[in-house]
Structure 1
Amino acid sequence: MSDEIKPLILVIEDDPQTRRLLKTNLCTRGWRVIEAENGKDGLALVKSDSPDLVILDLGLPDMDGISLTKRLRQLSDLPVLVLSARSQEQNKIMALDAGADDYLTKPFSTGELHARLQALLRRVMRTTNKTETFQTGELSVDLARRKVFMAGNEVHITPIEYRLLSILVRHAGLVVTHRQLLKEVWGGEHIHDQHYLRVYMGQLRHKLEVNPARPRYLRTEVGVGYRLAEEDS
């Protein structure tokens, strides 16, 4: 994505009013938008127009949004933001486990939508540019040297704490499910051992947060997972 060309967003949504609202707000903020009213047309546009990001509704007329998310993930690693009226935790977990990068529940604020989209694009840019240092507020993570700093002072963290933090850094601004964190840090046989996360996240918060009970950086997504907050979160 060049500086001259604004990011292209594909909106896959069957409700005309929601599509119109999204297009109006996204174009006002400088995004380019293409639309599809069903999963089949959405897949075709992914192949023909190569969007930078997809906003996807789960309740499509021709296929289930979870299945479409899996199809999109097979085609490409482009960011997928699920936008859905299904607010139950299990729906969020299913979408994220299927390969979605983030999940926003209807009704939503346009400000939060914009912040989530910006976080998704920053993650893509970090991956593309192979950025070796992550910075938000007073927290800095040197990914090349595997070192963590708060306000310029190095913080000693254990190897497991670092693996947990580095995963959250890779997905900064986005929710990462309990299942994904457990699988990547401890292995597939531990995907149900959520007490591991509670213990180690508690340790990280005591090392990185001014007030661990009200974390600035390491946020809880109740029942779903954790999110590393960025400056404009």
Structure 2
Amino acid sequence: MTVEPKRLLILACSHRKRPDSGLLPAMERYDGPQFQVLRKFLREQPIEAQSIDTFILSANFGLISANQPIPKYDYRMSLQRVQELRPKVSCELEQVLQGNDYSELFISLGKNYWQTLEGYERLVPAEAKVTIAQGSQGGRQAALRRWLYNGLVEQSYGHSVIATQGKAQIRGIEITFTSEQAVELARQALAEGHGDPAGYQSAYVLVDGQRVAPKWLVSQLTGLPVGSFHTGDARRVLQQLGIEVKST
């Protein structure tokens, strides 16, 4: 019987959390877009999921297993909290890596969270392949999906589709969102106040009745600055993803 190489996934906690009272496993408590992608993968690929260990970097708890029960809380990763957590997180990561021969690591963290992992390179085996997801939430979410499925088949509405179906490309960045996933990410970005969604002139996209600029939406999906591409590029990308772009 072939033993699958073990892979390690490290995600930052999300602001969006399920409001259930009592304790929930961390993977269920956090409800941001990346955790929705992860739970979908676990449902669809339970055998492959057994080779992945998932840990979550929490501003409140440090580096915890995705299965650790936690309550609902509201705690931000301030710069002061970074300083407090850094030695604790370093020790916790060292403990995770000890005795586990991980062939791959995937790390997706926001700016302040990254500072708590400062010096992680010295702990990771030299032969392990490390993937760092950077940029906007959309870009990190797409990178996570690619890493998880790694050529497997993703299920969508009861039908099997290749995970990269409906892809678009801009400035060398490949986007693999479905239209539903892109809109969900737009909702999250709007809720968190990212960028200037109202900066449109001749075209817009409707997100729950709110008009947003096509360039803003593509920027959220890719991490590219809005000034690095044209509105025509944004329209093409969104149309390839099945998102309707309306004219003013």
TM over 0.5: no
| Higher RCO, 1 vs 2 (CA within 8 Å, ≥6 residues apart) | 2
Q: TM-score, normalised by structure 1?
A: 0.31
